[in-house]
Chains A and B, each alone.
Chain A
Amino acid sequence: MKEHNTPETLLEDDHLQENILHAYLDGELTAMEIKTVENHLETCNRCQVRLQELQSTFTALDELPDLALDVDLATPVLRSLKAERDVIPALPWITAAQAAAAVVLLALTLPILLTLPLFQSMKISLINWGSVLQVNILNMTAGLQAQIQGLQTFFEQMLNAYSRFSVPDFHFIPLWILFLAAALLGILGNTLLLRRELNL
């Protein structure tokens, strides 16, 4: 017992508390507590009987032997571990290569994506959003003005830079669409692989 009991707290109605008997047999009492318990046991028949009954349960449990397993579990365990070892180390290289290829393909497809009506309207919305944000924030603090303008300029420059890329001839558009599909598949595939590797 980690808390130190006084001789009085070991007893309840002049007999040893049940949990004290358990702790005594479990070797969880301090030397002083053991002495108190043993002194009491010398003079108390009832507690001696209770202790013997408890000891008989301990003895019963001691009668259960370790069982001999008649099958070799090392084989299936090693098979599982080898399978894990063979799969996981190769994964990061494949994943990294695929991720890099997907990013390159996506970057290559951006010029044509930006010519599509959807992306044009997104560009306008983005710039408008920047303007509205700018006005709102300017009302709150003039100090942020330069940063917002910088952000807006950044958006415009980024989108204009991509827009200035020469869009390939019409005949090559299927190729760009193929790139886009490969990029999206690559990103999706890598996400799944990473999820599996990380057990997400």
Chain B
Amino acid sequence: MAESSDRDLVNQTLQGDLEAYGDLVREYQSSVFSVCYRVLGNRRDAEDLTQDTFLRAYHHLDSFDMERPFGPWVRTVAANLCYNHLNQSRLPSMPLLDEHDIPKGGGGKTPEAWLIKNERQERIYQALWQLPPHHRVAIELRHFQDLTYQEMADELGIPLNTVRSHLYRARNKLAELLRKYEGT
């Protein structure tokens, strides 16, 4: 069930109180941004898509199930929006890095260094961003949003077996890249 304060804010928003929606945005903007950043791989797009997510969520608020928490719902909206964005823009995955290009964490070497606290995290991010968009979104929905296979299939509009296949391939590729970056 939605936290009562979130539910109250959603109700107030539905009654036309935009400031209540502002409170919801402030409450969830970081977690929604995190979703967008993990899927998109750069701050500027992630901020844009975070805003788009809240605009989209506002326009679909009447379909939000009050019995469920607001946070996971809006984060799933974000993942879907990022997935569509990547598909529409047909952005390639980031180029594979050579061994001497292994990311250096937290030292200001990349524009995103302010977000990433250590080398290990940066290597994981870089490995994640090498994956194709549909694999990144599968990882996001399963590992970070805790959706079941069936929920993922419903959300992405793909068969259950495709969900399994995406996860299987994504994790194997991720493991391979991490081994490469960490020299093991």
Using a CB–CB cutoff of 8 Å, the interface residues on chain A facing chain B are 1-2, 18-19, 22-23, 26, 28, 53-54, 56-58, 60-69, 71-78, 80-82, 85
Q: Is the interface of B mostly helix, strand, loop or mixed?
A: helix
B125 — nearest CB in chain A belongs to which residue?
A64
- Our pick among A2, A64, A69, A75 for the contact of B121 (Cβ within 8 Å) is A64
Q: Is B26 an interface residue (CB 8 A)?
A: yes
In contact, B25 and A18 (Cβ under 8 angstroms)? no
In contact, A60 and B51 (Cβ under 8 angstroms)? no
In contact, B55 and A61 (Cβ under 8 angstroms)? no
- Our pick among A26, A80, A82 for the contact of B167 (Cβ within 8 Å) is A26
- Report the bound CA distance from A2 to B31 in whole Å: 30
In contact, B175 and A57 (Cβ under 8 angstroms)? yes
- Report the bound CA distance from A146 to B107 in whole Å: 90
Tell me how far the C-beta of B113 lies from the nearest C-beta in chain A, rounded to whole angstroms. Answer: 12
Q: Is B68 an interface residue (CB 8 A)?
A: no
- Our pick among A1, A53, A67 for the contact of B115 (Cβ within 8 Å) is A67
Number of interface residues of B (CB under 8 A): 43
19 sample A-B contacts, Cβ–Cβ < 8 Å, listed by A number: A18-B168, A22-B171, A57-B178, A60-B124, A60-B174, A61-B139, A61-B144, A61-B174, A62-B143, A64-B38, A64-B121, A67-B37, A69-B33, A73-B51, A77-B55, A78-B18, A78-B19, A80-B55, A81-B55
B contact residues around A78 at 8 Å (CB): 18-19, 21-22, 25
Given contacts A26-B167, A81-B55, contact A72 B149 (CB under 8 A): no
Residues of B132-151 at the interface with A, using a CB-CB cut-off of 8 Å, are 139, 142-144, 148-150
B contact residues around A53 at 8 Å (CB): 175
